[in-house]
């Protein structure tokens, strides 16, 4: 039996996985030599496979946190312990009485996931997270976010969104009213290095979440993260939800666009209430180290040169950088205004809400200006290298039209890039503190 694509890729990066996939590729090509070799190969593979599963199942009981399997396992398996069940139940307990939600936040140890989970918990909703803690960027940062969440009474399940059995167990244990689906393979340029991880997280993982939600009784309402990148090569500004989104410039964008179409299907067939949010280059404290503002900060402090991309005709690139607190307000408002799903027992009983909103800042800033601001708050001059924008999925600019979110969510971004980066730098220095080689950092 050959493993399926789902078995071969983790939800997010998969250097190890890619190797394994190549290994299976090599093995299968050899199978074609003779019938006996094929039979032998098949039995050996089956035996090895059975042994791996047996080994994993027997060792799972040792895991006090619920016997989860990490994303690198061949087969998903899961054995909840009492302690694990208790943690999930406690985390989901609301502390307010006026119509509280119980929210499953996927990608809870991610940047946006952490902030949204905290906001919901702080106002008294029940929150339980799930995250696979993959190594796309430093795992220690994700673990630190997990610790922060734990301090606020939020339990983050260490598992992959493709683990259907585990998710079903969660839904059986507690009544999840809303799913805030933020787990994804992010990053525009990394898609050329590891395309499979985008398919596995942003498509297979999304479908798995929808499948679980569709079968749940009652079905939860879902709010999920799409991306400004779906506008791709669109040149009409500002980008409106009504503009064309059929020209993605990266596989990342294509998987987010595919997600929007898949959302339509699940809404149409099963009556799931679904809201997609197109985030515009979100930044802030506890952010993602792979993003430009974060990696620039790191390199400026180390005295390393930074590459500043330039578009055609030496035009500066620009982004509608959006501060995390504004994004959190948009996410929470989307949850608050989400109507109930209409399906029952996996069948639709009436039309359900289907929405898409831009969540941007509405004032694009060029990348060199972003660097100017960082220099000011870091009090260090950047070593700028101006290079031609590589053809790896980038787009020259983004700019959100947010009128739909303003009207329907009362969304109103309040933090400009200058203020937001100041807060980011402050956090960065307090988090990485002593590791920074420069001394005069907090002069401002
Ligand atoms: O809105 C989104 O949907 C996406 O936002 C984010 O993508 P981007 O807008 O591309 O952000 P980011 O990488 O910070 O690059 C910012 C700018 O710096 C330029 N850039 C980048 C790197 C570099 O070395 N030099 C450079 O000039 C670069 O050319 C760009 O102009 C998320 O990562 C993505 O996951 C998705 O959520």
Ligand 1 centroid, distance to 158 Cα (angstroms) = 28
Omega before 220 cis (within 30°)? no
Q: Considering only CA atoms, which residue is closest to atom 25 of ligand 1?
A: 308
- Indicate the top mutation candidate among 306, 367, 384, 389 to test ligand 1's pocket, ranked by most ligand atoms within 8 A of CB: 367
Q: Considering only CA atoms, which residue is closest to atom 13 of ligand 1?
A: 291
More confident residue, 47 or 94: 94
pLDDT for 42 equals 42
| Residue 284 in this model has a pLDDT that exceeds 50 | yes
pLDDT for 29 equals 35
| Residue 221 in this model has a pLDDT that exceeds 80 | yes
| Residue 431 in this model has a pLDDT that exceeds 80 | yes
| Residue 174 in this model has a pLDDT that exceeds 50 | yes
Ligand 1 centroid, distance to 314 Cα (angstroms) = 18
Predicted ipTM of the assembly: 0.99
Residue 180: strand pairing partners: 105, 223
Q: Considering only CA atoms, which residue is closest to atom 31 of ligand 1?
A: 317
**3 state SS for the chain:** CCCCHHHHCCCCCCHHHHHHHHHHHHHHHHHCCCHHHHHHHHHHHHHHHHHHHHHHHHHHCCCCCCCCCCCCCCCCCCCCCHHHHHHHHHHHCCCCCCCCCEEEEECCCCHHHHHHHHHHHHCCCEEEEEECCCCCCCHHHHHHHHHHHHHCCCEEEECCCCCHHHHHHHHHHCCCCEEEECCCCCCCHHHHCCHHHHHHHHHHHHHHHHHHHHHCCCCCEEEEEEEHHHHCCCCCCCECCCCCCCCCCCHHHHHHHHHHHHHHHHHHHHCCCEEEEEECCEECCCCCCCCHHHHHHHHHHHCCEEEEEECHHHCECEECCEEHHHHHHHHHHHHHHCCCCCCECCECCCCCCEEEEEECCCCCEEHHHHHHHHHHHHCCCCEEEEEECCCCCCCCECCECCHHHHHHHCCCCCCCHHHHHHHHHHHHHHHHHHHCCCCHHHCC
Question: Does the C-beta of 371 come closer than 6 Å to ligand 1?
Answer: no
Question: Does the C-beta of 310 come closer than 6 Å to ligand 1?
Answer: no
Question: Does the C-beta of 308 come closer than 6 Å to ligand 1?
Answer: yes
| Residue 70 in this model has a pLDDT that exceeds 60 | no
Question: Does the C-beta of 281 come closer than 6 Å to ligand 1?
Answer: yes
The model's pLDDT over 307-343, given as tens digits with 9 standing for 90+, comes to 999 999 999 999 999 999 999 999 999 999 999 999 9
- pLDDT class of 249 with cuts at 50, 70, 90: very high
Q: Which residues are catalytic?
A: 252
Mean pLDDT for 151-178 is 97
| Residue 8 in this model has a pLDDT that exceeds 70 | no
Ligand 1 centroid, distance to 310 Cα (angstroms) = 13
More confident residue, 39 or 104: 104
Q: What number of CA atoms fall less than 13 Å from residue 72's CA on the CB side?
A: 11
Question: Does the C-beta of 7 come closer than 6 Å to ligand 1?
Answer: no
Ligand 1 centroid, distance to 28 Cα (angstroms) = 39
3-state secondary structure of 103: strand
Q: Considering only CA atoms, which residue is closest to atom 4 of ligand 1?
A: 281
pLDDT for 140 equals 98
| Residue 27 in this model has a pLDDT that exceeds 50 | no
Question: Does the C-beta of 188 come closer than 6 Å to ligand 1?
Answer: yes
Omega before 6 cis (within 30°)? no
More confident residue, 198 or 434: 198
More confident residue, 6 or 137: 137
- pLDDT class of 435 with cuts at 50, 70, 90: low
The model's pLDDT over 125-134, given as tens digits with 9 standing for 90+, comes to 999 999 999 9
**What is the position in ligand 1's atom list of the atom closest to the CA of 186?**
35
Q: Considering only CA atoms, which residue is closest to atom 34 of ligand 1?
A: 187
- pLDDT class of 346 with cuts at 50, 70, 90: confident
- pLDDT class of 436 with cuts at 50, 70, 90: low
Mean pLDDT for 136-159 is 98
**What is the position in ligand 1's atom list of the atom closest to the CA of 256?**
3
**What is the position in ligand 1's atom list of the atom closest to the CA of 282?**
5
**What is the position in ligand 1's atom list of the atom closest to the CA of 293?**
14
- pLDDT class of 39 with cuts at 50, 70, 90: very low
Q: Considering only CA atoms, which residue is closest to atom 8 of ligand 1?
A: 281
| Residue 12 in this model has a pLDDT that exceeds 60 | no
Question: Does the C-beta of 316 come closer than 6 Å to ligand 1?
Answer: no
Mean pLDDT for 246-268 is 98
Mean pLDDT for 233-256 is 96
Q: Which of 41-50, 196-205, 306-315, 390-399 has the lowest mean pLDDT?
A: 41-50
The answer to whether 222 and 178 have CB atoms below 8 angstroms apart is: yes
Ligand 1 centroid, distance to 92 Cα (angstroms) = 35
What torsion, rounded to 10 degrees, do the Cα atoms 104, 110, 115, 116 define? -30
Question: Does the C-beta of 292 come closer than 6 Å to ligand 1?
Answer: yes
Q: Which of 123-127, 243-247, 343-347 has the lowest mean pLDDT?
A: 343-347
pLDDT for 13 equals 45
Question: Does the C-beta of 225 come closer than 6 Å to ligand 1?
Answer: no
Question: Does the C-beta of 229 come closer than 6 Å to ligand 1?
Answer: yes
Mean pLDDT, the chain, rounded, equals 86
| Residue 230 in this model has a pLDDT that exceeds 50 | yes
Question: Does the C-beta of 367 come closer than 6 Å to ligand 1?
Answer: yes
- pLDDT class of 47 with cuts at 50, 70, 90: very low
Ligand 1 centroid, distance to 316 Cα (angstroms) = 13
- Indicate the top mutation candidate among 319, 373, 387, 424 to test ligand 1's pocket, ranked by most ligand atoms within 8 A of CB: 319
Question: Does the C-beta of 380 come closer than 6 Å to ligand 1?
Answer: no
């Amino acid at each position: 039996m050959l493993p399926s694509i789902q078995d071969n890729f983790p939800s997010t990066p998969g250097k190890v996985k890619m190797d394994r996939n190549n290994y299976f590729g090599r093995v299968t090509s050899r199978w074609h030599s003779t019938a006996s070799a094929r039979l032998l190969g098949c039995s050996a593979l089956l035996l090895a496979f059975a042994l791996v599963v047996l080994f994993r199942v027997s060792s799972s009981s040792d895991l006090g946190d619920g016997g989860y399997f990490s994303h690198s396992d061949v087969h998903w398996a899961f054995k909840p312990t009492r302690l694990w069940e208790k943690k999930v139940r406690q985390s989901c307990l609301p502390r307010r009485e006026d119509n509280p939600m119980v929210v499953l936040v996927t990608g809870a140890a991610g940047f946006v996931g952490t902030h949204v989970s905290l906001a919901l918990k702080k106002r008294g909703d029940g929150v339980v997270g799930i995250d696979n803690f993959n190594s796309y960027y430093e795992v220690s940062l994700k673990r630190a976010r997990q610790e922060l969440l734990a301090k606020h009474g939020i339990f983050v399940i260490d598992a992959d969104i493709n683990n259907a059995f585990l998710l079903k167990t969660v839904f059986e244990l507690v009544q999840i009213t809303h799913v805030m689906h933020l787990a994804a393979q992010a990053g525009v340029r990394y898609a050329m290095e590891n395309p499979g991880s985008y398919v596995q997280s942003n498509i297979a993982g999304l479908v798995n979440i929808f499948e679980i939600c569709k079968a749940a009784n009652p079905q939860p309402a879902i709010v999920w993260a799409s991306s400004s990148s779906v506008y791709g090569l669109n040149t009409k500004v500002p980008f409106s939800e009504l503009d064309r989104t059929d020209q993605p410039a990266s596989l990342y964008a294509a998987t987010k666009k595919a997600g929007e179409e898949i959302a339509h299907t699940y809404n149409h067939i099963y009556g799931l209430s679904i809201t997609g949010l197109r985030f515009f280059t979100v930044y802030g404290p506890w952010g993602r180290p792979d993003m430009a503002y974060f990696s620039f900060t790191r390199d400026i402090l180390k005295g390393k040169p930074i590459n500043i991309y330039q578009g055609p005709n030496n035009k500066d690139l620009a982004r509608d950088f959006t501060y995390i607190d504004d994004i959190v307000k948009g996410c929470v408002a989307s949850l608050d205004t989400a109507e109930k799903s209409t399906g029952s027992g996996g069948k639709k009983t009436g039309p359900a809400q289907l929405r898409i909103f831009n969540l941007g800042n509405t004032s694009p800033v060029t990348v060199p200006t972003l660097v100017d601001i960082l220099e000011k708050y870091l009090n260090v001059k950047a070593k700028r290298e101006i290079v031609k924008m590589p053809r790896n999925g980038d787009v020259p600019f983004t700019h959100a039209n947010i009128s739909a979110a303003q009207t329907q969510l009362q969304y109103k971004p309040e933090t400009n890039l200058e203020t937001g980066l100041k807060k980011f730098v402050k956090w960065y220095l307090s988090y990485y503190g002593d590791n920074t080689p420069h001394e005069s950092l907090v002069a401002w």
